[in-house]
């Protein structure tokens, strides 16, 4: 029956965690058993390298304190002074998360990456640069959504692409289970970017940008405020969301002001470019007519 066995043919296209059950089903040879023992040893080594970090992750007090800190400067001071944190520890955590993922332990990998995201600074701008560089080889509604939002600051375009993104995720076998979470975070990205440009926002206008009804959008914002994900207050009489100022160190305030000015400058620059482009197109059409 060996000539009808397709294990070797399809095994080269499978991840490790999918190949293991096939090997267990077969009468594995000594070298395969030795390879599996090598994988287990490697996993043990990676775990020992980040045992301190894993200990923090299992400490409820440490995790609660980290999650409550909004100021990245204060979080960094807490990690370095109280926990003797070193940035090199994160490299080992990423390696372990990748190894766990390749072994099929998705939930554990997710917890490692969540801890990584708490500590490491966001890299949305870096992601956008990669999307821009590779746009000539690949584009889809999700990459175009990010480009509309973070490059062009075109909120109407981002709203339209979000509708297309929902269709893409709904029809994807691997992503359909994350549809609600994807839409929620996409709306939050639109909202956060919009708030960095505007200090006072009309709820009705915001609802339109998020593809939501006004009353639903208001409830959504209220939940963000309750869950401490948004520092703002709602003026129900005027139907406005007024952004508040959270206490931060002078250094953090300076960084945030520079980032806000950068975002506003890019938004203004893109708006001017779009208007000039439209004006030039009108002139060309007049000449041809």
- Higher pLDDT among residues 240 and 253, named by residue: 240
pLDDT at 182 > cutoff 50: yes
Predicted TM-score (pTM) above 0.85:
no
pLDDT digits (tens, 9 = 90+) for 83-141: 888 888 888 888 999 888 888 788 888 888 888 887 876 556 767 777 777 777 888 89
Question: Mean pLDDT across the stretch 241-250?
Answer: 62
Q: What is the pLDDT of residues 19-49, one digit of tens each?
A: 777 777 766 556 667 777 888 888 889 889 8
Give a three-class secondary structure readout of the chain: CHHHCCHHHHHCCCCHHHHHHHHHHCCCCHHHHHHHHHHHHHHHHHHHHCHHHHHHHCCHHHHHHHHHCCCHHHHHHHHHHHHCCCCHHHHHHHHHHHHHHHCCCHHHHHHHHHHHHHHCCCCHHHHHHHHHHCCCCCCCHHHHHHHHHHCCCCHHHHHHHHHHHHHHHHCCCCCHHHHHHHHHHHHHHHHHHHHHHCCEEEHHHHHHHCCCCHHHHHHHHHHHHHCCCCCEEEECCCCEEEECCCCCCHHHHHHHHHHHHHHHHHHHHHHHHHHHHHHHHHHHHHHHC
- Taking residues 185-212, report their average pLDDT: 83
Query: Between these two residues, 247 and 184, which has the higher pLDDT value?
Result: 184
């Amino acid at each position: 029956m060996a000539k009808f066995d397709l294990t070797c043919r399809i095994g080269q296209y499978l991840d490790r965690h999918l190949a293991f059950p096939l090997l267990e089903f077969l009468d594995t040879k000594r070298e395969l058993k030795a390879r599996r023992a090598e994988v287990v040893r490697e996993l043990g080594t990676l775990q020992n390298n980040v045992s301190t970090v894993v200990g923090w992750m299992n400490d409820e007090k440490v995790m609660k304190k980290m999650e409550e800190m909004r100021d990245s400067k204060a979080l960094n001071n807490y990690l370095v002074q109280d926990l003797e944190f070193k940035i090199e520890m994160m490299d080992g955590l990423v390696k372990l998360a990748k190894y766990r993922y390749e072994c099929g332990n998705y939930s554990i990998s997710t917890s490692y990456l969540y801890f990584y995201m708490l500590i490491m600074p966001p890299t949305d701008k870096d992601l956008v640069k990669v999307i821009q560089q590779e746009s000539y080889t690949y584009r889809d509604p999700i990459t175009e959504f990010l480009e509309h939002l973070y490059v062009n600051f075109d909120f109407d375009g981002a709203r339209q692409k979000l509708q297309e993104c929902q269709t893409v995720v709904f029809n994807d076998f691997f992503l359909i289970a994350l549809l609600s979470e994807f839409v929620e975070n996409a709306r939050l990205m639109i909202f956060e970017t919009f708030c960095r440009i505007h200090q006072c926002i009309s709820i009705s206008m915001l609802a339109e940008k998020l593809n939501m009804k006004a009353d639903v959008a208001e409830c959504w914002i209220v939940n963000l405020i309750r869950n401490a994900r948004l520092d703002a207050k709602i003026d129900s009489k005027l139907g406005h969301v007024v952004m508040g100022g959270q206490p931060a160190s002078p250094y953090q305030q300076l960084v945030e002001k520079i980032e806000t000015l950068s975002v506003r400058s890019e938004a203004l620059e893109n708006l001017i470019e779009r208007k000039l482009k439209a004006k030039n197109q009108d002139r060309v059409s007049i000449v041809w007519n």
